[in-house]
Amino acid sequence: MSAGTRPAATTLRFRARPAGHVLEARGLSRAFGGRTVVEDVSFRVEPGRMTGFVGANGAGKTTTMRMLTGVLRTTAGEVLWDGRPVTAADRAGFGYMPEERGLYPRQPVLDQLCYLGRLHGMDRRAALAEARRLLERLDLAGRERDPLGTLSLGNQQRVQIAAALLHGPTALVLDEPFSGLDPVAVDAMTGLLRERLEQGVPVLFSSHQLDLVDRLCDSLVVLSAGRVLAAGAVEDLRRAGPRRHRLRCEQDAGWVRGLRGVRAVDVDGPDAVLELDDDDARRRLLRAAVERGLVEFAEIVPGLADVYREVTR
Ligand SMILES: Nc1ncnc2c1ncn2[C@@H]1O[C@H](COP(=O)(O)OP(=O)(O)OP(=O)(O)O)[C@@H](O)[C@H]1O
């Protein structure tokens, strides 16, 4: 290679992400006693992307996660891993945190994690070392010898997280992993998940905490009454909703109501939230606003709570 064609040093600094696999639900359905609770559910969990799974109580999140992990059989549809039907061996590599936390209350924390690591094929030393590292990261270093049941519920939850992460999972499916955690534990957990994302692991987690989902997720799946209402990159979902603007003037903003091409979503004293038909409407609005002492005009970036409300309306 001549000096002229040598790649610049800066390009060499990029560290290639290990290629991970896509976990995909394709047309998943599940009925219990003739009642369909999950119907034709399709979405992708991309490698290295944190995907939030949201929906009202009973929407079918747990049922879907159980089908993804093979705990529950599908009535129809299939789960794909790396583009082909998932196998039991593939699933053995997944990390799953079930809704019903399934560890043994009487067994000491470290023994239990070590046992689970060995079930996943780790040797004892590796399982112990990784269990200790995770417990340390989750601020449970002093509790290794304590029976799980003597820990507070939040701390038992931290141990469940360690159990899901222990064997270096190829995919993570986590059913409400953040519920009941204090903010410090949420941060510790987030840090551990980000490590896995960096390694190209696809992560799916369900949650009712939309603020948390907003803060953490790259992608989102919204489920309602067993069906997918929206799925995709968070940025795309934000853009798909109505574009809204915030306006503040020195006087009451009620005058915006009569303006052509302008829809007042909310008017509260000098503040208004507006949807505009086009650039002409925007120009008309701004001209009128300047005459009334324009203080602020800005596009509103919708939070995930807004996106959720919009798609579930
Ligand atoms: N084993 C079962 N037998 C019968 N019905 C079930 C079973 N498991 C789940 N269901 C029903 O399926 C529906 C979806 O439940 P699921 O637990 O998947 O919802 P979810 O979105 O996880 O709810 P939540 O947010 O409350 O945890 C509910 O109506 C539930 O009663």
Q: Taking 60 as the threshold, does the pLDDT of residue 67 lie above it?
A: yes
Q: What pLDDT, on the 0 to 100 scale, is given for residue 17?
A: 47
Percent of the chain at pLDDT above 70?
A: 94
Question: For a substitution probing ligand 1, which of 54, 61, 63 has the most ligand atoms within 8 Å of its CB?
Answer: 63
Q: Taking 60 as the threshold, does the pLDDT of residue 1 lie above it?
A: no
| SS3 of residue 239 by DSSP | helix
Residue carrying structure tokens 């023994």: 111
ipTM of the complex: 0.97
Q: What pLDDT, on the 0 to 100 scale, is given for residue 3?
A: 38
Which is higher by pLDDT, 27 or 301?
27
* Mean pLDDT, residues 26-51: 96
* Mean pLDDT, residues 292-311: 86
Q: Taking 50 as the threshold, does the pLDDT of residue 65 lie above it?
A: yes
Q: How would you classify residue 33: left for phi > 0, otherwise alpha for psi between -120 and 50, otherwise beta?
A: left
Distances (CA, A) of 140 to 144, 191, 262: 7, 15, 56
Q: Taking 80 as the threshold, does the pLDDT of residue 101 lie above it?
A: no
Q: Which pTM was predicted?
A: 0.83
Percent of the chain at pLDDT above 90?
A: 79
Closest ligand 1 atom, residue 226 Cα: 14
- Cβ of 55 closer than 6 Å to ligand 1, yes or no, is yes
Pick the residue whose CA is nearest to atom 4 on ligand 1: 32
Q: What pLDDT, on the 0 to 100 scale, is given for residue 19?
A: 61
Q: Taking 90 as the threshold, does the pLDDT of residue 308 lie above it?
A: no
